[in-house]
Amino acid sequence: MSYTIPIGPYHPALEEPYKLELECEGERVRAAHLQIGFNFRAIELLAQSRNVIQNIALFERVCGICSNVHTLTYCLAVENLLGIEPPLRAQYIRVIVAELERLHSHILWAGAAAHILGFQTLFMTCFRLREIVMDLLESISGNRVNYAMNAVGGVNRDLTDPRTVQEGVHQIRRAVEEQLIPVFTTDPTVRARCAGVGVLTKEEALAWGAVGPTARASGVAQDLRQAQPYLIYDRLDFSVPVQESGDVLARIIVRALEMVESCLMIEQALDQLPSGEWRGQLFVELPPGEAVARIEAPRGEVFYYLASDGGEKPVRVKVRTPSFVNMPTVRLMLKDATLADAPLIQASIDPCYSCTDR
């Protein structure tokens, strides 16, 4: 028996407003169709009516989970156009906040995955760790969601209590190594639900342009922090976790291992944190020209393009989010999967459809 099941745009199995149409034969998915555009906010158009500084607050609202990622990439693009480099201390603070945000994103996703799996104890463990990360971000920035840390040429706040951050990060790393990774990698229920499910091969990941943990779980060892280092990532010693199986379990393991690497990077950055200036000069007008910036967000590469005619308002700001290239791969992962696995498979790429809609 063939039939089509619409999931969304508002559905308990979906994190955000989008729509999947699954063509099924019995309990088997034969094809999947994806629709987005339910949360369009015209942020790129609004950026053309605001000046350089006002746009920082605007782009911080592209994504609630990765708010710092977007302001950081935007500020890097502005700095590239201005031809300036932030003070070294500011670069270290930016990396510390960026890796804390990566921790927050991955831990939140791990909790959501545990919830979909029906593993409520693991869900609560993840959200307890998430609270620790949010408390650390609040201690640095004063905010738990939109941190307002990035400014053109520097940061808005200094890091005044590195010891508290060091202790919190060490606590998170110990919990990830001793609790999350053992459960996600050895628990028979997790393996039964995730191993061999929603496979994306390396060839498919390359052909469809997948990025971030989704690509690395399929054997694509690409991470901008190593491939094209920015800020002070070339001063840090870290590994890029890669798995070859390309299934849901591989995507879980990659993110879990990345949590450990993020903790190690933060610890190194805190140990190396130099003294000195951390503020930047105030720039209101941009010179004529174009600039780009790319960084490794929790979900993969974020790309910003900035064009200016020499005024205080940009002519164009173009944003490409990682979900824009990752979400079409769900169509490949869902093919021949069981209907019951569809919510887990679509969640395994950690989609952010609202930031893709912008």
**What is the domain-level CATH number for residue 243?**
1.10.645.10
Residue 18 lies in domain: 1-40
Inside any domain, residue 128: yes
Dihedral of the alpha carbons of 153, 155, 161, 166, in degrees to the nearest 10: -80
Looking at the structure, tell me whether residues 200 and 303 fall in a common domain: yes
Looking at the structure, tell me whether residues 74 and 114 fall in a common domain: yes
Nearest to 225 by CA among 324, 93, 71, 98: 98
Looking at the structure, tell me whether residues 255 and 320 fall in a common domain: yes
Cα separation, 338 vs 358, whole angstroms? 32
**Judging by DSSP bridges, how do beta strands 154-155 and 28-35 pair with one another?**
unpaired
Looking at the structure, tell me whether residues 108 and 84 fall in a common domain: yes
Structure tokens, 145: 């969601």
Structure tokens, 315: 């002519």
Inside any domain, residue 357: no
Looking at the structure, tell me whether residues 84 and 130 fall in a common domain: yes
Inside any domain, residue 356: no
pLDDT of residue 63: 85
Inside any domain, residue 115: yes
3-state secondary structure of 301: strand
Looking at the structure, tell me whether residues 96 and 13 fall in a common domain: no
Q: Which residues make Cβ contacts (< 8 Å) with residue 78, sequence separation at least 6? A: 52, 152, 283, 286, 291, 306
Looking at the structure, tell me whether residues 10 and 61 fall in a common domain: no
pLDDT of residue 18: 81
Looking at the structure, tell me whether residues 144 and 260 fall in a common domain: yes
Looking at the structure, tell me whether residues 257 and 156 fall in a common domain: yes
Inside any domain, residue 134: yes
* Residue range 89-131, pLDDT digits in tens: 999 999 999 999 999 999 999 998 888 888 888 889 999 999 9
Cα separation, 86 vs 158, whole angstroms? 13
> What's the domain count of the chain?
2
Q: Are 256 and 243 in contact (CB under 8 A)?
A: no
pLDDT of residue 168: 95
Looking at the structure, tell me whether residues 23 and 72 fall in a common domain: no
Helices (H), the chain: 43-47, 54-59, 67-82, 88-117, 120-141, 162-175, 181-186, 188-194, 202-207, 212-216, 224-227, 248-272, 322-326, 330-334, 342-347, 353-357
Positions in the chain short of pLDDT 70 = 12-15, 284
Looking at the structure, tell me whether residues 238 and 166 fall in a common domain: yes
Inside any domain, residue 179: yes
Looking at the structure, tell me whether residues 282 and 325 fall in a common domain: yes
* Residue range 24-52, pLDDT digits in tens: 988 898 988 888 888 788 899 999 999 99
Inside any domain, residue 289: yes
pLDDT of residue 14: 66
Compute CA distances 256 → 106, 120, 165, 182, 250, whole Å.
7, 18, 20, 10, 10
Type of residue at 159: L
pLDDT of residue 274: 95
Inside any domain, residue 74: yes
